[in-house]
Amino acid sequence: MVKTCMMHKICTRFAVRLCALALFAQTSACSAELPPDAPTLRDARKFLISHTDAGCDDTDNAHLIKDDRIIVASRSGNVATIIYDLHCEYSAARTRVFLLWRTFSGYRLMHFAKPVYELRWADDIESELAEKPSAIGYEVVTRLPNGKINSNSLEITSDERWGASEDSGEQGSWRFLHNTDRYALSSFEVEPYSLRGLGPNKADRLKGKRFMLFPSEK
């Protein structure tokens, strides 16, 4: 088996060594880059299954998944902050969860804030919106549909598609805060287009239309 790895290093003025190391489940060639006490992907997945807040199905998530990854967010000597990008099967939906592990602190399940909103339609066939959607509150989630992490910036994005044609849905992005080792919401938008509308002219007006819920549109 050919073992490959990718590593990106960025030096800051504080002389803190930041690197992003993408390790796939079958890869072990770069294990020396991790601190000696850093958990393996298998260790992280065991923690994930035991963490009830994650809500991943035990049967489908007990073993390593081919696209599980380790991202080294920062390291100075043997002290490191590591993000585990893990597949999570949840009610037949394929989502991603992210664990953060820090030397001397252990694991933390990452949480992501997202807007709560309501789509108010002008008719029963959902062909026209009665008003522009806006956030009415916020909720915290741990699973991100089609979640992806940028191994350089550590930004995480999510793109949830709805319907058989996947022509509507939600998109969100979160930035990593190094001072708190947490994620903050950067942007969130919704595409409410519906194929069920019987008035094609009205429904087509929504096709491809995105409404920004965060930051709120002025």
pLDDT tier, 207 (very low <50, low <70, confident <90, very high otherwise): low
pLDDT at 88 over 70: yes
Given a contact cutoff of 8 angstroms between Cβ atoms, the answer to whether 73 and 18 are in contact is yes
Higher pLDDT, 121 or 218: 121
pLDDT at 92 over 80: no
pLDDT score, position 19: 40
- Dihedral sign computed on CA atoms, order 96, 102, 106, 110: negative
Q: What is the pLDDT of residues 111-170, one digit of tens each?
A: 999 999 998 888 776 667 888 888 999 999 999 999 999 999 999 999 998 876 667 899
Average pLDDT over residues 27-50: 75
Range in 65-69, 122-126, 171-175 the model is least confident about? 122-126
Residue 92 φ/ψ, nearest 5 degrees: 70, 5
pLDDT at 52 over 60: yes
pLDDT tier, 11 (very low <50, low <70, confident <90, very high otherwise): very low
Long-range residue pairs from 3-10, CB within 8 A, at least 24 positions apart, any chain: 3/27, 3/28, 3/29, 4/29, 5/29, 5/30, 6/151, 7/33, 8/151, 8/152, 10/152
pLDDT score, position 199: 53
